[in-house]
Amino acid sequence: MEYRQPCKECIKEEKFWTTENIRIKEILKVGENQQEDKIENEDEMIIDIETEEERENKELRNQMKEEKEETERLINIKLNENVNLAQRVMEVGMENEKLNRKIEEYEMVEKVICDKNESIFHCENCKEEGTNYIYYPQSSINMYKTLYLAEQEISKKRVEELKEFNNLFNSYQTLEMEKKDEIIFREQQTIEEILSEFNTVINYERTKNNN
């Protein structure tokens, strides 16, 4: 409802003021209602905007939280892997140090020197000195290992040969004992036969003399 400026004649009339007051109140009331509706709509829009923004912020916070947790999990995995790797490196280092000490001790105790024409265990790490090779520790180990295995094989064959010889000797001894027993038996038979014959002769002579 729009407000219209009254004419001079109407203003003079007392009735005008009553009507005009009512109209002004209605206009003000309508304007007030429209203003309230506008404010309410704006408040609702602000609430909707804030709600949507809060929702987006919440989703963003959740996403950031998940990403942080995943990052922390991956970091912990990597830390554990690094700890295990560092421990393994330390263990390998200690093993290498022990091995180096053993090699040094071995080198201090004995160096294997072999003629180049006779050497079969030398490697690229062996040192050349004139017509000889100074064996690298691993080459020395390979040589002694081969000699040890060869000696074991020879010892094994010797043991087998000794067993075979012992079996043959036992067999021969058994045969000799059997032969000896047979000879004794035969000799016993011969003696018995001689005695029997002797007894026969004696008995004959006795009989003859008695007659």
SS3 172: helix
Fill in the amino acid letter for 42.
E
Count of the separate structural domains present in the chain: 1
Top-confidence residue, 112 or 211: 112
Confidence of residue 67 (pLDDT cuts 50, 70, 90): confident
pLDDT at position 1 is 46
- Could you read off the pLDDT of 76-93 as tens digits, one per residue? 888 778 777 778 878 877
Query: Are the CB atoms for 144 and 109 separated by under 8 Å?
Result: no
Longest CA pairwise span in the chain (Å): 224
Task: Write out the residue range of the structural domain in which residue 54 sits.
Answer: 1-82
Structure tokens at 10: 């109407």
Residue 45 has pLDDT above 70, yes or no: no
Residue 44 falls inside a structural domain: yes
Residue 203 has pLDDT above 70, yes or no: no
Residue 37 has pLDDT above 70, yes or no: no
Average pLDDT taken over every residue of the chain: 72
- Could you read off the pLDDT of 105-157 as tens digits, one per residue? 655 456 788 888 888 888 888 888 899 998 887 888 888 888 888 888 888 88
How far apart CA 126 and CA 134 sit, in angstroms, is: 6
Element spanning 115, H or E:
strand 113-115
Residue 198 falls inside a structural domain: no
Confidence of residue 51 (pLDDT cuts 50, 70, 90): low
Residue 11 falls inside a structural domain: yes
How far apart CA 191 and CA 66 sit, in angstroms, is: 118
Residue 157 phi/psi, 5-degree rounding, is -65, -40
Residue 125 falls inside a structural domain: no
How far apart CA 114 and CA 127 sit, in angstroms, is: 11
pTM over 0.85: no
pLDDT at position 132 is 92
Place of tokens 């265990």: 121
SS3 113: strand
Angle at 19 between CA 16 and CA 24, to 5 degrees: 115
* Full strand arrangement of the beta sheet holding 127-129: 113-115, 132-134, 127-129
Residue 166 falls inside a structural domain: no
